[in-house]
Amino acid sequence: MRFRNVCLESIGAEIPTEIWSSEEVEQRLAPLYQRLRLPEGRLELMSGIGQRRLWPAGTLPSGPSIRSGQAAIEAAGIDRDRIGCLIHASVCRDFLEPATASKVHHGLGLSSRCWVYDVSNACLGLVNGAVQIASLIEAGSIDAGLVVGTENSRPLLEQTIAALNADTQLTRRSVKPAFASLTIGSGSCAWLLVRRELSQQGSPLESAIAEARTQHHDLCLSHDDSAGSQMQPLMDTDSEKLMAEGIATGVAALEQLLAENSITRDQIDRTICHQVGSRHRQAMLEAMGLSIDKDAVTFPWLGNTGSVALPLTLAAAAADQTLQPNDRVAMLGIGSGINSVMLTTRWASTPLAGNLADELNNHRSPK
C-alpha cells in the first residue's frame, strides 16, 4: 500500500510520572520469590526493563487520550473541524460499549461529521488506526484524522502480583507464562495525519504493509477479563514461542516492506520497533539483518506499553533528535495474534507535544 498524499503532522505523547522499578516489582513479589528461591534482579536481567510507569489508580484511558489528542491538535495548529476521523486504538478502553472513541471525541470537541470508532489489535492498534486514517485521506474522503490510545498497566500488574503471591502451587516452570505481564508499562500517544497540501511541517508517509500468521493466535491470551474500569486482567504468554514466531513474521513482513518501496536495508536510516525487551530486540534486528545502531529504544524506562509502544518510541526519537530531516524511517510493528504492520516515512519536522520530552530528560535510563 503506497501513500502519496498523507503526512504525519504532529504527535501528542503523555506518560505517567509514577515509576515502578523492576526491583520494586520484585519486592512486591517477595512471597513468591522466597517460596521459589528466585534470585533478585532476574526481572531486569531477563528483560532489560529497569522501569515501567503507572497511571494513578482509577484512571480511565479516555482521560490521557483526550490530553494526548489535544496536544497533537494544538501542535499542528489545525482547525479541529477539518478532522474527519477519530480512532481510539489501545487495548485498554473505558468500557465495552460504547466506543471509548465517543468519549474522547466529545472531550476534544470534534465535528459531528467525524467518523468515530475504536480499533483493537493488541500491540498494533494505533498503527492499524493510522493506516485506516491514511487510506481515508488518500482516497479523498477526509482532510485529516486522529488516532489515539492509552495503555494502563496498573490493573494487570497489580492483579498478576496478587495472583502469583497467592498461588502456592506455582513452580519455576509454571510461573513463566506470567513473566511478560510484569514488563507492561503505561503511556498515551496520538498521531494527527493530514492531507499533504494542508501540511505545514509533517513527515510524508510512504507505505504500509501487513503480514498475518494467525495460526499462532493462542501464544498470548488474556481471556478471563472484560473491558471497563473494573477489569481484573490476567495474561498467559508463551514468551519463547511468541518471540520465535513473532520474529519469523517480522522477517517476512520486512521483505514485503522492502519490495513495496523498492529499497534495500541499507537505505533505511532509522528503525522504530515494537518495544518488548532486550532479548527480543537483539534477536529481531539480527534476524532482519538490520543494525542495532540505527534503532530507537524506550523499553528500558517505559517497559512494554502495548499499542502505544511504537508510537511513543517514534516520539522519543524525535524528542532526542535521533531522527534527522529526510531520514527514511521504518516502523516495524509486530503484535500477538500474530500480526505485523510496518510503515515507512520520510522524517521532516513533525512537532511533539505533551510531557514525554521532559520525562525523557529527567528519568530516562541509559540504553
Positions annotated as catalytic residues are: 97, 123
Residue 337 CB neighbours (<10 A): 20
Buried residues in 150-173 as b, exposed as e (16+ CB within 10 A): bbbbbbbbebbbeebbeeeebeee
162, containing H or E segment: helix 154-166
**Cα-based distances in Å from 222 to 32, 210, 235:** 22, 23, 4
Q: Which of 14, 11, 15 is nearest to 302 (CA)?
A: 15
Q: Is 293 helix (H, G, I), strand (E, B) or coil?
A: helix
Give 196's contacts (C-beta < 8 A, 6+ positions apart): 4, 5, 6, 7, 202, 204
Rounded CA gap, 317 and 333, in Å? 16
Alpha-carbon torsion 212, 213, 215, 221, what sign?
A: negative
Q: How far apart are CA 74 and CA 180, in angstroms?
A: 36
Q: Which residues contact 292 (CB under 8 A, 6 or more apart)?
A: 281, 282, 285
Collect all residues with Cβ–Cβ distance below 8 Å to 252 and sequence separation of at least 6. 211, 213, 340
